[in-house]
Amino acid sequence: MLASRAVQDPSGTRELLAGYLEECRSLVLEELRRIIPAERHHAPFLYQLMLDYPLREAKGLRPALCIATCRALGGTLEAALRPATVLELYHNAFLIHDDIEDESLLRRGSPTLHRAHGIPVAINVGDAMFALSLRPLLDNIGAVGLGPALRILQAVARMTQESVEGQALELDWIRRGAWTLSDEDYVRMVEQKTCWYSFITPMVVGAIAARQDGERIEQLAAFARSLGIAFQIQDDVLNLRGEVGAYGKEIGGDLWEGKRTLMLLHMMRHVSAGDRAEAERILSLPRPSPEAAPEPTTFDAQLDRLVEEGELTVVGRQRLREARNAAPRRAEKTPEQVRFLLSLMERHDSIGHAQRVARDWLQDAQRRFDVCRGWLPPSIHRDLLEGLTSYVLLRAK
Protein backbone atom coordinates (compact mmCIF):
# COMPACT_ATOMS: atom_id res chain seq x y z
CA MET A 1 0.00 0.00 0.00
CA LEU A 2 1.03 3.63 -0.38
CA ALA A 3 1.47 3.90 3.35
CA SER A 4 4.38 1.45 3.37
CA ARG A 5 5.99 1.38 -0.09
CA ALA A 6 9.74 1.70 -0.29
CA VAL A 7 11.62 4.12 -2.50
CA GLN A 8 11.82 2.86 -6.09
CA ASP A 9 14.07 3.60 -9.04
CA PRO A 10 12.42 6.52 -10.89
CA SER A 11 13.85 5.42 -14.28
CA GLY A 12 10.61 3.62 -15.18
CA THR A 13 8.54 6.80 -15.13
CA ARG A 14 5.59 5.38 -17.02
CA GLU A 15 5.38 2.29 -14.84
CA LEU A 16 5.73 4.34 -11.67
CA LEU A 17 3.00 6.75 -12.71
CA ALA A 18 0.63 4.04 -13.90
CA GLY A 19 1.00 1.99 -10.73
CA TYR A 20 0.80 4.96 -8.38
CA LEU A 21 -2.22 6.48 -10.11
CA GLU A 22 -4.04 3.15 -10.18
CA GLU A 23 -3.45 2.48 -6.48
CA CYS A 24 -4.61 5.97 -5.51
CA ARG A 25 -7.65 5.57 -7.73
CA SER A 26 -8.56 2.28 -6.04
CA LEU A 27 -8.29 3.85 -2.60
CA VAL A 28 -10.37 6.87 -3.61
CA LEU A 29 -13.08 4.75 -5.27
CA GLU A 30 -13.34 2.70 -2.10
CA GLU A 31 -13.74 5.91 -0.09
CA LEU A 32 -16.27 7.27 -2.60
CA ARG A 33 -18.41 4.15 -2.20
CA ARG A 34 -18.30 4.71 1.54
CA ILE A 35 -19.28 8.38 1.23
CA ILE A 36 -22.02 8.00 -1.39
CA PRO A 37 -25.07 6.27 0.14
CA ALA A 38 -25.93 4.26 -2.98
CA GLU A 39 -28.54 2.19 -1.12
CA ARG A 40 -30.39 5.17 0.34
CA HIS A 41 -33.96 4.08 -0.23
CA HIS A 42 -35.63 7.39 -1.13
CA ALA A 43 -33.12 8.49 -3.80
CA PRO A 44 -31.22 5.45 -5.10
CA PHE A 45 -31.19 6.70 -8.69
CA LEU A 46 -29.40 9.90 -7.65
CA TYR A 47 -26.66 8.16 -5.71
CA GLN A 48 -26.11 5.47 -8.32
CA LEU A 49 -25.57 8.14 -10.98
CA MET A 50 -23.12 9.96 -8.72
CA LEU A 51 -20.82 6.96 -9.23
CA ASP A 52 -21.26 6.94 -13.02
CA TYR A 53 -18.37 9.23 -14.04
CA PRO A 54 -16.02 8.17 -11.20
CA LEU A 55 -16.36 4.50 -12.18
CA ARG A 56 -15.54 5.14 -15.83
CA GLU A 57 -11.92 4.51 -16.77
CA ALA A 58 -9.88 7.55 -15.74
CA LYS A 59 -6.46 8.60 -14.51
CA GLY A 60 -7.40 9.81 -11.03
CA LEU A 61 -4.69 12.45 -11.31
CA ARG A 62 -6.05 14.99 -8.81
CA PRO A 63 -6.41 12.69 -5.80
CA ALA A 64 -3.05 11.11 -6.62
CA LEU A 65 -1.43 14.55 -6.58
CA CYS A 66 -2.97 15.28 -3.20
CA ILE A 67 -1.87 11.97 -1.72
CA ALA A 68 1.63 12.11 -3.23
CA THR A 69 2.24 15.64 -1.95
CA CYS A 70 1.09 14.76 1.55
CA ARG A 71 3.17 11.58 1.68
CA ALA A 72 6.22 13.27 0.14
CA LEU A 73 6.10 15.77 3.02
CA GLY A 74 5.87 13.08 5.67
CA GLY A 75 2.10 13.11 6.10
CA THR A 76 -0.07 10.03 6.43
CA LEU A 77 -2.39 8.43 3.92
CA GLU A 78 -5.25 8.83 6.41
CA ALA A 79 -4.74 12.61 6.49
CA ALA A 80 -4.86 12.90 2.69
CA LEU A 81 -7.50 10.36 1.69
CA ARG A 82 -10.67 12.29 2.54
CA PRO A 83 -9.52 15.56 0.93
CA ALA A 84 -8.31 13.61 -2.10
CA THR A 85 -11.72 11.98 -2.42
CA VAL A 86 -13.44 15.36 -2.15
CA LEU A 87 -11.29 16.65 -5.00
CA GLU A 88 -12.39 13.68 -7.11
CA LEU A 89 -16.03 14.46 -6.29
CA TYR A 90 -15.53 18.07 -7.33
CA HIS A 91 -13.75 17.05 -10.51
CA ASN A 92 -16.56 14.79 -11.66
CA ALA A 93 -19.24 17.31 -10.71
CA PHE A 94 -17.43 19.95 -12.78
CA LEU A 95 -17.24 17.50 -15.69
CA ILE A 96 -20.98 16.83 -15.59
CA HIS A 97 -21.81 20.53 -15.68
CA ASP A 98 -19.08 21.32 -18.25
CA ASP A 99 -20.41 18.63 -20.57
CA ILE A 100 -23.84 20.27 -20.47
CA GLU A 101 -22.43 23.76 -21.08
CA ASP A 102 -20.24 22.52 -23.94
CA GLU A 103 -22.92 20.22 -25.40
CA SER A 104 -20.34 17.43 -25.33
CA LEU A 105 -21.28 13.99 -26.62
CA LEU A 106 -18.65 11.73 -25.05
CA ARG A 107 -16.92 11.52 -21.70
CA ARG A 108 -14.35 8.81 -21.05
CA GLY A 109 -15.46 6.86 -24.08
CA SER A 110 -19.18 6.76 -23.25
CA PRO A 111 -22.14 9.12 -23.72
CA THR A 112 -22.11 12.11 -21.40
CA LEU A 113 -24.47 11.96 -18.44
CA HIS A 114 -26.90 14.52 -19.84
CA ARG A 115 -27.06 12.64 -23.15
CA ALA A 116 -27.81 9.38 -21.36
CA HIS A 117 -30.24 10.66 -18.70
CA GLY A 118 -31.28 14.20 -19.66
CA ILE A 119 -30.08 17.64 -18.64
CA PRO A 120 -32.23 18.07 -15.48
CA VAL A 121 -31.02 14.77 -14.03
CA ALA A 122 -27.39 15.52 -14.87
CA ILE A 123 -27.52 18.99 -13.29
CA ASN A 124 -28.99 17.55 -10.11
CA VAL A 125 -26.35 14.81 -9.93
CA GLY A 126 -23.59 17.42 -10.24
CA ASP A 127 -25.22 19.59 -7.58
CA ALA A 128 -25.51 16.58 -5.27
CA MET A 129 -21.82 15.79 -5.67
CA PHE A 130 -20.90 19.34 -4.67
CA ALA A 131 -23.20 19.12 -1.64
CA LEU A 132 -21.88 15.74 -0.55
CA SER A 133 -18.27 16.96 -0.63
CA LEU A 134 -18.67 19.10 2.49
CA ARG A 135 -19.14 16.32 5.04
CA PRO A 136 -15.80 14.53 4.43
CA LEU A 137 -13.92 17.80 4.89
CA LEU A 138 -15.54 18.26 8.30
CA ASP A 139 -14.98 14.62 9.19
CA ASN A 140 -11.27 15.10 8.47
CA ILE A 141 -10.79 17.16 11.64
CA GLY A 142 -9.99 13.99 13.55
CA ALA A 143 -7.22 13.05 11.12
CA VAL A 144 -5.48 16.42 10.69
CA GLY A 145 -6.74 18.65 13.50
CA LEU A 146 -9.09 21.63 13.49
CA GLY A 147 -6.64 24.21 12.13
CA PRO A 148 -5.46 22.23 9.09
CA ALA A 149 -9.02 21.02 8.40
CA LEU A 150 -10.25 24.63 8.21
CA ARG A 151 -7.32 25.60 5.99
CA ILE A 152 -8.19 22.73 3.65
CA LEU A 153 -11.79 23.94 3.57
CA GLN A 154 -10.56 27.45 2.73
CA ALA A 155 -8.37 26.05 -0.07
CA VAL A 156 -11.32 24.16 -1.56
CA ALA A 157 -13.51 27.27 -1.32
CA ARG A 158 -10.92 29.31 -3.23
CA MET A 159 -10.54 26.51 -5.79
CA THR A 160 -14.28 26.56 -6.43
CA GLN A 161 -14.39 30.32 -6.93
CA GLU A 162 -11.35 30.34 -9.23
CA SER A 163 -12.77 27.48 -11.31
CA VAL A 164 -16.20 28.98 -11.89
CA GLU A 165 -14.65 32.37 -12.70
CA GLY A 166 -12.41 30.70 -15.27
CA GLN A 167 -15.39 28.91 -16.79
CA ALA A 168 -17.34 32.18 -16.83
CA LEU A 169 -14.47 33.88 -18.64
CA GLU A 170 -14.46 31.24 -21.38
CA LEU A 171 -18.25 31.23 -21.70
CA ASP A 172 -18.24 35.02 -21.97
CA TRP A 173 -15.73 34.89 -24.81
CA ILE A 174 -18.04 32.50 -26.65
CA ARG A 175 -21.13 34.59 -25.83
CA ARG A 176 -19.52 37.79 -27.14
CA GLY A 177 -17.86 36.13 -30.12
CA ALA A 178 -14.47 37.34 -28.85
CA TRP A 179 -11.53 36.27 -31.03
CA THR A 180 -8.97 39.05 -30.56
CA LEU A 181 -7.31 37.22 -27.69
CA SER A 182 -3.65 36.68 -26.86
CA ASP A 183 -1.75 33.71 -25.48
CA GLU A 184 -1.74 35.57 -22.17
CA ASP A 185 -5.55 35.73 -22.19
CA TYR A 186 -5.67 31.98 -22.75
CA VAL A 187 -3.20 31.32 -19.93
CA ARG A 188 -5.23 33.47 -17.53
CA MET A 189 -8.37 31.50 -18.34
CA VAL A 190 -6.62 28.13 -18.03
CA GLU A 191 -5.00 29.08 -14.74
CA GLN A 192 -8.40 29.75 -13.21
CA LYS A 193 -10.46 27.09 -14.93
CA THR A 194 -8.00 24.18 -14.90
CA CYS A 195 -4.89 24.81 -12.82
CA TRP A 196 -6.59 25.62 -9.54
CA TYR A 197 -8.74 22.52 -9.29
CA SER A 198 -6.54 20.08 -11.20
CA PHE A 199 -3.05 20.91 -9.92
CA ILE A 200 -2.66 23.81 -7.50
CA THR A 201 -5.33 22.87 -4.95
CA PRO A 202 -4.55 19.11 -4.88
CA MET A 203 -0.92 19.89 -4.04
CA VAL A 204 -1.75 22.70 -1.61
CA VAL A 205 -4.32 20.53 0.19
CA GLY A 206 -1.86 17.63 0.34
CA ALA A 207 0.75 19.93 1.88
CA ILE A 208 -1.72 21.28 4.44
CA ALA A 209 -2.72 17.71 5.35
CA ALA A 210 0.98 17.11 6.05
CA ARG A 211 0.92 20.17 8.35
CA GLN A 212 3.03 22.38 6.06
CA ASP A 213 2.61 26.10 5.50
CA GLY A 214 4.35 29.22 4.23
CA GLU A 215 7.06 29.25 1.58
CA ARG A 216 7.01 25.54 0.82
CA ILE A 217 3.34 25.63 -0.12
CA GLU A 218 3.99 28.67 -2.33
CA GLN A 219 6.80 26.85 -4.13
CA LEU A 220 4.65 23.77 -4.69
CA ALA A 221 1.80 25.93 -5.97
CA ALA A 222 4.13 27.65 -8.47
CA PHE A 223 5.24 24.25 -9.77
CA ALA A 224 1.62 23.10 -9.99
CA ARG A 225 0.59 26.22 -11.93
CA SER A 226 3.20 25.76 -14.65
CA LEU A 227 2.50 22.04 -14.86
CA GLY A 228 -1.25 22.65 -15.11
CA ILE A 229 -0.92 25.15 -17.96
CA ALA A 230 1.23 22.71 -19.92
CA PHE A 231 -1.25 19.91 -19.19
CA GLN A 232 -4.21 21.88 -20.56
CA ILE A 233 -2.37 22.92 -23.72
CA GLN A 234 -1.43 19.29 -24.34
CA ASP A 235 -5.04 18.27 -23.69
CA ASP A 236 -6.18 20.76 -26.33
CA VAL A 237 -3.67 19.29 -28.80
CA LEU A 238 -4.92 15.77 -28.08
CA ASN A 239 -8.45 16.96 -28.78
CA LEU A 240 -7.34 17.50 -32.38
CA ARG A 241 -4.77 14.75 -32.84
CA GLY A 242 -5.62 12.06 -30.33
CA GLU A 243 -7.37 8.75 -30.89
CA VAL A 244 -10.87 8.57 -29.45
CA GLY A 245 -10.19 5.15 -27.90
CA ALA A 246 -7.25 6.52 -25.92
CA TYR A 247 -8.44 10.09 -25.43
CA GLY A 248 -11.94 9.12 -24.27
CA LYS A 249 -13.56 12.31 -25.56
CA GLU A 250 -14.80 13.45 -28.93
CA ILE A 251 -11.88 14.16 -31.26
CA GLY A 252 -12.21 17.70 -32.63
CA GLY A 253 -14.86 18.54 -30.06
CA ASP A 254 -13.19 21.85 -29.23
CA LEU A 255 -13.66 23.01 -32.83
CA TRP A 256 -17.28 21.89 -32.89
CA GLU A 257 -17.84 23.79 -29.64
CA GLY A 258 -15.84 26.89 -30.66
CA LYS A 259 -13.52 26.75 -27.65
CA ARG A 260 -10.77 29.36 -27.50
CA THR A 261 -7.74 27.07 -27.50
CA LEU A 262 -4.17 28.27 -27.92
CA MET A 263 -4.07 26.78 -31.45
CA LEU A 264 -7.31 28.39 -32.56
CA LEU A 265 -6.32 31.81 -31.22
CA HIS A 266 -2.91 31.54 -32.90
CA MET A 267 -4.55 30.62 -36.21
CA MET A 268 -6.98 33.55 -35.99
CA ARG A 269 -4.07 35.95 -35.49
CA HIS A 270 -2.20 34.71 -38.57
CA VAL A 271 -4.80 33.96 -41.26
CA SER A 272 -5.79 36.34 -44.04
CA ALA A 273 -8.72 38.67 -43.49
CA GLY A 274 -10.89 36.55 -45.77
CA ASP A 275 -10.05 33.27 -44.04
CA ARG A 276 -10.57 34.87 -40.64
CA ALA A 277 -14.02 36.12 -41.64
CA GLU A 278 -14.97 32.65 -42.86
CA ALA A 279 -13.52 31.01 -39.73
CA GLU A 280 -15.50 33.37 -37.49
CA ARG A 281 -18.66 32.63 -39.47
CA ILE A 282 -18.16 28.87 -39.08
CA LEU A 283 -17.32 29.13 -35.40
CA SER A 284 -20.46 31.16 -34.74
CA LEU A 285 -22.62 28.28 -35.98
CA PRO A 286 -23.97 25.75 -33.47
CA ARG A 287 -22.91 22.15 -33.67
CA PRO A 288 -25.50 19.74 -35.14
CA SER A 289 -28.13 18.60 -32.69
CA PRO A 290 -27.67 14.92 -31.77
CA GLU A 291 -31.45 14.53 -31.93
CA ALA A 292 -31.96 14.34 -35.67
CA ALA A 293 -35.30 15.50 -37.06
CA PRO A 294 -37.62 12.79 -38.38
CA GLU A 295 -36.98 11.77 -41.98
CA PRO A 296 -39.48 13.37 -44.41
CA THR A 297 -40.83 9.95 -45.40
CA THR A 298 -41.41 9.09 -41.73
CA PHE A 299 -43.15 12.41 -41.13
CA ASP A 300 -45.36 11.92 -44.19
CA ALA A 301 -46.23 8.39 -43.12
CA GLN A 302 -47.28 9.66 -39.70
CA LEU A 303 -49.52 12.28 -41.32
CA ASP A 304 -51.06 9.63 -43.61
CA ARG A 305 -51.83 7.44 -40.62
CA LEU A 306 -53.53 10.32 -38.80
CA VAL A 307 -55.70 10.93 -41.87
CA GLU A 308 -56.62 7.24 -42.07
CA GLU A 309 -57.55 7.23 -38.37
CA GLY A 310 -59.72 10.31 -38.81
CA GLU A 311 -57.54 12.45 -36.55
CA LEU A 312 -56.47 14.78 -39.38
CA THR A 313 -58.18 16.09 -42.52
CA VAL A 314 -56.63 15.89 -45.96
CA VAL A 315 -56.46 19.68 -46.07
CA GLY A 316 -54.79 19.73 -42.66
CA ARG A 317 -52.20 17.21 -43.86
CA GLN A 318 -51.38 19.36 -46.87
CA ARG A 319 -51.01 22.49 -44.75
CA LEU A 320 -48.66 20.72 -42.33
CA ARG A 321 -46.50 19.53 -45.22
CA GLU A 322 -46.35 23.02 -46.67
CA ALA A 323 -45.46 24.50 -43.28
CA ARG A 324 -42.69 21.94 -42.85
CA ASN A 325 -41.21 22.66 -46.26
CA ALA A 326 -41.37 26.42 -45.68
CA ALA A 327 -39.78 26.32 -42.23
CA PRO A 328 -36.25 27.80 -42.19
CA ARG A 329 -33.49 25.29 -41.59
CA ARG A 330 -31.12 26.02 -38.72
CA ALA A 331 -27.61 26.59 -40.00
CA GLU A 332 -25.16 24.24 -38.28
CA LYS A 333 -21.48 23.39 -38.53
CA THR A 334 -20.59 20.66 -40.97
CA PRO A 335 -17.66 18.19 -40.92
CA GLU A 336 -16.26 19.93 -44.02
CA GLN A 337 -16.21 23.26 -42.19
CA VAL A 338 -14.44 21.74 -39.18
CA ARG A 339 -11.85 20.23 -41.53
CA PHE A 340 -11.39 23.69 -43.07
CA LEU A 341 -10.59 25.13 -39.63
CA LEU A 342 -8.13 22.33 -38.98
CA SER A 343 -6.45 22.93 -42.35
CA LEU A 344 -5.94 26.59 -41.43
CA MET A 345 -4.29 25.54 -38.18
CA GLU A 346 -1.97 23.18 -40.01
CA ARG A 347 -1.11 25.78 -42.67
CA HIS A 348 -0.06 28.31 -40.03
CA ASP A 349 1.66 25.78 -37.71
CA SER A 350 -0.75 26.61 -34.90
CA ILE A 351 -0.53 23.14 -33.37
CA GLY A 352 3.26 23.35 -33.46
CA HIS A 353 3.03 26.72 -31.72
CA ALA A 354 0.91 25.20 -28.95
CA GLN A 355 3.34 22.31 -28.50
CA ARG A 356 6.27 24.71 -28.22
CA VAL A 357 4.44 26.81 -25.63
CA ALA A 358 3.58 23.65 -23.68
CA ARG A 359 7.25 22.64 -23.64
CA ASP A 360 8.22 26.08 -22.35
CA TRP A 361 5.76 25.74 -19.47
CA LEU A 362 7.04 22.22 -18.76
CA GLN A 363 10.60 23.52 -18.58
CA ASP A 364 9.42 26.19 -16.16
CA ALA A 365 7.66 23.51 -14.10
CA GLN A 366 10.86 21.46 -13.98
CA ARG A 367 12.87 24.46 -12.80
CA ARG A 368 10.34 25.13 -10.08
CA PHE A 369 10.36 21.51 -8.98
CA ASP A 370 14.15 21.62 -8.76
CA VAL A 371 13.64 24.17 -5.97
CA CYS A 372 11.21 21.85 -4.19
CA ARG A 373 13.56 18.89 -4.57
CA GLY A 374 15.99 20.69 -2.33
CA TRP A 375 13.74 20.14 0.69
CA LEU A 376 11.69 17.09 -0.36
CA PRO A 377 13.35 13.90 0.91
CA PRO A 378 13.80 11.07 -1.64
CA SER A 379 10.72 8.84 -1.91
CA ILE A 380 8.41 7.25 -4.43
CA HIS A 381 6.03 10.12 -3.72
CA ARG A 382 8.60 12.73 -4.75
CA ASP A 383 9.40 10.63 -7.83
CA LEU A 384 5.71 10.69 -8.75
CA LEU A 385 5.55 14.48 -8.54
CA GLU A 386 8.69 14.95 -10.61
CA GLY A 387 7.64 12.34 -13.16
CA LEU A 388 4.53 14.33 -13.99
CA THR A 389 6.52 16.63 -16.28
CA SER A 390 7.36 13.68 -18.53
CA TYR A 391 3.83 12.36 -18.23
CA VAL A 392 2.29 15.63 -19.45
CA LEU A 393 4.62 15.71 -22.47
CA LEU A 394 4.11 12.07 -23.47
CA ARG A 395 0.49 11.50 -22.52
CA ALA A 396 -1.96 10.16 -25.08
CA LYS A 397 -5.12 10.68 -23.02
User: Which tens digit of pLDDT belongs to each residue from 338-358?
Assistant: 999 999 999 999 999 999 999
- Place 41 in a pLDDT band, splitting at 50, 70 and 90: low
Q: Are 378 and 309 in contact (CB under 8 A)?
A: no
pLDDT for 5: 40
- Assess whether pLDDT exceeds 50 at residue 212: yes
Q: What is the mean pLDDT of residues 210-229?
A: 97
CB under 8 Å to 113, separation ≥6 — which residues? Answer: 49, 52, 53, 96, 99, 107, 121, 122, 125
Q: Report the SS3 class of residue 288.
A: coil
**Which residue type, as a one-letter code, is found at position 315?**
V
Q: Domains of the chain (ranges plus CATH)?
A: 13-254+360-394 (1.10.600.10)
pLDDT for 15: 84
Give CA–CA dist 185/265, Å, rounded.
10
- Place 9 in a pLDDT band, splitting at 50, 70 and 90: very low
- Assess whether pLDDT exceeds 60 at residue 34: yes
Question: Looking at the DSSP assignment, which residues form a beta bridge with residue 110?
Answer: 107
CA distances from 201 to 90, 152, 320, 363, 380 (A): 12, 9, 57, 21, 21
pLDDT for 330: 66
| DSSP codes joined into one string, 205-248 | HHHHHTT--THHHHHHHHHHHHHHHHHHHHHHHHHHHS-HHHH-
Portion of the chain with pLDDT greater than 90, in percent: 71
Q: What is the mean pLDDT of residues 2-21?
A: 63
Give CA–CA dist 48/118, Å, rounded.
15
Q: Are 50 and 132 in contact (CB under 8 A)?
A: yes
Question: With 0-12 CB in 10 A as exposed, 13-18 as middle and 19+ as buried, what is 98?
Answer: middle
Per-residue pLDDT reduced to its tens digit, 90-129: 999 999 999 999 888 889 889 999 999 999 999 999 999 9
Considering only 3-7, 20-24, 48-52, 318-322, which range has the smallest mean pLDDT?
3-7
Q: What is the mean pLDDT of residues 323-330?
A: 68
- Place 64 in a pLDDT band, splitting at 50, 70 and 90: very high
pLDDT for 129: 96
pLDDT for 300: 83
Per-residue pLDDT reduced to its tens digit, 245-299: 444 556 688 899 889 999 999 999 999 999 999 999 999 998 887 654 445 567 7
pLDDT for 4: 40
